[in-house]
Amino acid sequence: MDPERWGRLRALFDATVEMSAEDRETLLERHRGADPQLVAKLRRMLAANDRPDALIDHSPVASRRRNLRARPH
């Protein structure tokens, strides 16, 4: 995958990873027509992330995000 395509995939992942399932599906359907292969890859990444044993869940970035969301405002 070339760097530009990876950048688009990563941006979409970052935009959708914290969304509700309904909002996520809306965004994915909106992008599917333009690049169905990219959306298919994104769906696989999101499914892997949603698994309880996902490596992404244990990353320092994911841990930091969880800590920030848990803080009282």
**Is the model's pTM score more than 0.85?**
no
Question: What residue spans define the domains of the chain?
Answer: 3-70
- The tally of CA atoms less than 13 A away on the side-chain side of residue 39 is 13
What residue type is assigned to position 38 of the chain? L
Q: What is the pLDDT of residues 12-36, one digit of tens each?
A: 999 999 888 899 999 999 888 889 9
Residue 59 has pLDDT above 80, yes or no: no
**DSSP 8-state class, residue 13:** H
Instruction: Note the pLDDT of residue 33.
Output: 86
- The residue type of 36 is P
